[in-house]
Amino acid sequence: MAFNLTRRKFLQTASLAAATIPLSKVVSAETGVAKASLEPKGTMGDTTVVGGLCEMCFWRCQLVGKVRDGQLMKLEGNPKSIDNGTAICARGNAGVKLLYDVDRLKYPLKNVGKRGEPKWKRISWKEALDECGSKLKAVVDQHGPQGICVFPHGASAKYPMHYFERTVGTHNVSEASFFQCRGIRDAAYVATIGKAPGEMVDMSNTKVIFLVGSHLGENIHVSHIKSYMKGLQGGAKLVVADPRYSASAAKSDIWVQIKPGTDTAYLLAIMNYLVQNNKYNKEFVTKHTSGFDKFSTAISEWTLDKAAKECDIPAAQIKEVAELLAANAPNVAIHPGRHVSWYGNDFQRERSLACLTALLGAYYVKGGWVPPKNPAKLGKTSWAPQEHGDEFNLNVINDKKVYPFKPPGTPTELIRDCAISGKPYAIKGCVVWGQNPMQTIPKQEKMKQVFNAMDFVMCVDVMPTDVTMWADILLPESSYLERHDEIKTGVGKVKATDKEPTQFIAPRMPLVAAMFERKDQVYITNEIAKRMGHEKEIPVQTLEELVDKTLASANITLASVKAEGGIHLQPGFSPYGVPEDFMVQLFNEDVAAAGFPGAPTYKAVEDVPAGYARLLYGRAPVHTFNRSQNNVWLNHEMPGNPVWLNDEVAAKLGLKDGDTVGFINSEGVKSRTTTTVKVTPGIRKDAVYMYHGYGSANPLMTAGVGKGVDDQSLITKIAIDPETGCHGMRNNFVKLTKDGKALDIPA
Amino acid sequence: MHLSHSSILLKYFYKLSYFFLYMTESTTSQDIASLYRFMAQCMQYPDPEWMNEDFFNVFYNLLGTFGAITEGKEIRDAVEKSSDFIEDLQIEYTRLFINGVPHVVAPPFASVYMDKSIQGSFALRTLNFYREKGFTMEDNADLPDHLVHELEFLSLLAKEEDFAGEEEFLSKLFRPWYKQFCPRVAEETRHPYYRMVVTLIDSFTKEEEEDGFQLNEA
């Protein structure tokens, strides 16, 4: 370059004086740095800011932030917490790195390239909101409110979801937490005990912890894990059914290395054994259940031997488990699970767990399933509910529900099929809020077809993810550390020796101010609502107002809770004692009337084809699925997701621990990336396992992109749970590939 | 690095002359202030409000003064040939400095390079330096270690003829990251405007020993 300026040269250039005169005329008047009006204060000390509520996962541990000069230095558990206490997990700690992630979204962006291959341009909020408002309004004007579909996830998505569902009036809302996760559990328990079970098992006071597939320890929710550990320390026996030697299996007294997909048969055999041998709680069954006769007849075929054959486990082991449960009933914790959208036969498995709990009389007793007596329900301030009829409800055809026991929202596949085919109506606008449907919903190609069918796609998130590449307008949201929000309520004990529990109410408060131009959900939703002609229906002006209005029903305010250290405490009540009207439907007539088995029923899933292994996935202890894959601390701890492979299978394939492999599934889909092999006797020969949430395709995630393998990209065969319409994602089969060659998995 | 006596003397001489110029030619320090402010302006997000014909005329004129006529012409061509040069520059700014594909090229924050994070401890050190000099951040400002604000701050120091402060800031808080930032932009950018702007800033903020004027040790 001919150009060779230095400061020295500049100083020597006499002619510059003339040239620089107009410089000042073309610069703006304001600067970001200005003369301080006061004497400089010098370095300030750290302050502890209270009121944090974690959202690295969705357990919402209570936090405090150590803040220096507006900068968050460290996160800790709130010392006032009677839930997680001062403890937070690795992910919670790493929230600092999410807050300050270089790749985070900072300004509204407009895609001036193609969907999926974006070319981004920063635009003003006004332009972004005008575009979102006018495009969404155009969709509603042309196609009706049902022309909009919404994929929300997380605390911040609730307010906009209510806006689109209630005010705009579309049924087409699909939450991943329901349709790809725990919705089946909630629906099955509602159909059995009348309420969603949460994970409300009293593990700290139990004699037996009974897990089916749950891998506590790898799946970490702090207060839940504390309760689990307390139970184990107190001598509780642990029974774990899992094809893999999980963190829980490693602590178990009985590890049931079950064949994937057969869990319901295992549960039916245990229940049948209890019934046949009069080892069930007759008093509870008489007083609190209905349909026992139909139920016991329906499950009577499930002898120990039959189940042993189906589940590929010893009959003696099933008997041992049943005896252990019977001997310790009713103080046994039958865990309902959390992520349960496995095989497309999951409603019946979850019903089985609920019925097993009843046979053991393990509801509302020490060590059983015990819903804590939480603070009275807080008022619900949001967009006012409105009736929109079922004309455009995809789940209702000729007054009949397609999936009668679905969780709230519309089953994902109904929305996708409608969007792609245009039948029975057009869906032309898509709002993605905090969800990453590219990595949460199986069959990515189908998701791409949905986006390509849209007139307009908007995404709101804190980070760029695989789905944000498909947005026309991408809006940056303030993170959970930068905004008010969500109120966590619950119970705990202030002192371990306390006889009665204490209730707590913990609203989320910002620990630091939002940086750049990030905005919260109330601002964004309201501004879009104004542009869509719904200004008059706006329920609150700010997020702070929303939280304060909600707290008012408990006679507290944000200010008062802040003064209390970020958490409000009030006296609680013992949770034990079965309510008089509590009923368990062992046989559910409504389920039967809808054409499904009224008693828990096992339906076999497709067997593994020769040469393949079943692809299983689960949670990593330091990641929250794909949400945390770009977090540099967490990425450092677990950068990849090695595939678990049975040691005998590995020997036959000539694979060694640490070898690099790729995948091809039974439908011919190859993994985009590779991972390493973890050779272990701790997994069945007919399955492989990997942690979910790796191998992002979005290069905007500089830490996470291409690291490990995206299990979701290999989940292309879709199973649908017939009662709920939720996905089953463990019916996909893979071969490993090495140096481009597919390796047949030996039988 | 071992420097020969002659090179130390030369360096001393340059510093003295710099010192002398500042002390005696207050108009020069005002010129320097203007130049810093102008460079800060160049690094703002492109907007027709300020990125107009006047702006480019001043810019080309400045480049001409420094003998960068070819480079000025290259930018002029790119601007004149485009149907929407503002949007071109907006897309390029977004890709280089905000969020881009394959990934953001060079976030314009010191702590990204020094702490591998937005708002790391380097940003705090920068803010504390501003404070020690009696300055503060406005409410609507970006982070203190944003390139634009660092240049604005240097401009304010120059205006106050605090050349020692300017030099200390440059060597301790500006150059350590800027010399990593600048080549990333210069090599990766697809628009001659940004290549020129970061080079202009680079040249103007370089330490004397960095700029190739040092004598051979032999």
Q: What is the pLDDT of residues A181-226, one digit of tens each?
A: 899 999 999 999 999 999 999 999 999 999 999 999 998 999 999 9
Q: How buried is residue A79: exposed, middle or buried, by Cβ count under 10 Å (0-12/13-18/19+)?
A: middle
Q: How far is B145 from chain A (nearest CA, A)?
A: 11
Residue B23: per-residue pLDDT:
42
> Does pLDDT of B214 surpass 60?
no
Is there a contact between A1 and B40 if contact means CB atoms under 8 Å apart? no
Considering CB atoms only, which of A8, A23, A464 is closest to B34?
A23
Residue B139: per-residue pLDDT:
86
> Does pLDDT of B217 surpass 80?
no
Residue A6: per-residue pLDDT:
63
Mean pLDDT calculated for residue range A629-637 = 88
Closest CA to A96 of A59, A58, A54: A54
CB proximity B41 to A under 8 Å: yes
3-state secondary structure of B95: helix
Residue A651: per-residue pLDDT:
97
Identify all chain A residues contacting B27, using CB atoms and an 8 Å cutoff: 17
Q: How far is A116 from chain B (nearest CA, A)?
A: 11
Share of chain A above pLDDT 90, in %: 84
Q: In 3-state terms, chain B is what percent helix, strand and coil (to 5)?
A: 70, 0, 30
Closest CA to A656 of A639, A674, A678: A678
Residue A296: per-residue pLDDT:
98
Residue A9: per-residue pLDDT:
62
> Does pLDDT of A295 surpass 80?
yes
> Does pLDDT of A169 surpass 80?
yes
Is there a contact between A106 and B204 if contact means CB atoms under 8 Å apart? no
Residues 57-76 of B with CB under 8 A from A: 57-58, 61-63, 65-71
CB proximity B200 to A under 8 Å: yes
> Does pLDDT of B212 surpass 70?
no
Judge if ipTM > 0.90: no
For A118-123, the CB contacts below 8 A with 24+ separation are: A118/A469, A118/A471, A118/B101, A119/B91, A119/B95, A119/B101, A120/A474, A120/B91, A120/B94, A120/B95, A120/B98, A120/B99, A120/B100, A120/B101, A121/B87, A121/B90, A121/B91, A121/B94, A122/B45, A122/B90, A122/B93, A122/B94, A122/B98
Domain A613-743 sits in CATH 2.40.40.20: yes
**Beta pairing class for A237-241 and A208-212:** parallel
CB proximity B205 to A under 8 Å: yes
> Does pLDDT of B6 surpass 90?
no
CATH fold label, A47-99: N-terminal domain of TfIIb (2.20.25)
**Cis link prior to A722 (omega < 30° from 0)?**
no
User: Model confidence at B102, in pLDDT bands (50, 70, 90)?
Assistant: low
Q: What's the pLDDT tens digit per position in A519-577?
A: 999 999 999 999 999 999 999 999 999 999 999 999 999 999 999 999 999 999 999 99
Identify all chain A residues contacting B70, using CB atoms and an 8 Å cutoff: 2
Considering CB atoms only, which of A3, A8, A469 is closest to B66?
A3
Answer CATH for B5-210 from 1.10.150.530, 3.40.190.10, 1.10.3480.10, 3.20.20.20? 1.10.3480.10
Which sequence spans correspond to the domains of chain A? Answer: 47-99, 181-359, 613-743
User: Model confidence at A69, in pLDDT bands (50, 70, 90)?
Assistant: confident
Q: What's the pLDDT tens digit per position in A89-142?
A: 999 999 999 999 888 999 999 999 999 999 999 999 999 999 999 999 999 999
Residue B213: per-residue pLDDT:
45
Q: Which two tokens stand for residue A715?
A: 């989940």
Q: What's the pLDDT tens digit per position in B10-25?
A: 444 444 444 444 444 4
Q: Lowest mean pLDDT: which of A264-273, A370-379, A544-553, A693-702?
A: A693-702
Q: Which of A5, A515, A632 is the best mutation test for B, with the most CBs of B within 10 A?
A: A5
> Does pLDDT of A303 surpass 60?
yes
Residue A629: per-residue pLDDT:
82
Answer CATH for A181-359 from 3.40.228.10, 3.30.565.10, 3.20.20.80, 3.40.50.360? 3.40.228.10
User: Model confidence at A43, in pLDDT bands (50, 70, 90)?
Assistant: low
Considering CB atoms only, which of B34, B45, B127 is closest to A69?
B127
Mean pLDDT calculated for residue range A281-289 = 98
Considering CB atoms only, which of A13, A17, A122 is closest to B45?
A122
Considering CB atoms only, which of A23, A37, A42 is closest to B58?
A23
3-state secondary structure of A485: strand
Is there a contact between A700 and B21 if contact means CB atoms under 8 Å apart? no
Q: Which of A1, A4, A6, A475 is the best mutation test for B, with the most CBs of B within 10 A?
A: A6
Greatest Cα pair distance, chain B, in angstroms, is 57
Identify residue A686 by its one-letter amino acid code: D
Is there a contact between A119 and B123 if contact means CB atoms under 8 Å apart? no
Mean pLDDT of all residues belonging to chain A: 93
> Does pLDDT of B100 surpass 80?
no
Considering CB atoms only, which of B38, B156, B211 is closest to A33?
B156
> Does pLDDT of A593 surpass 90?
yes
Q: How far is B62 from chain A (nearest CA, A)?
A: 6
CA distance B127 to A340: 50
Identify all chain A residues contacting B116, using CB atoms and an 8 Å cutoff: 102, 632
How many angstroms separate the Cα of A473 from the Cα of each of A49, A457, A548, B78? 34, 7, 31, 27
Which sequence spans correspond to the domains of chain B? Answer: 5-210
> Does pLDDT of A712 surpass 80?
yes
Mean pLDDT calculated for residue range B129-148 = 93
Residue A216: per-residue pLDDT:
96
User: Model confidence at A700, in pLDDT bands (50, 70, 90)?
Assistant: low
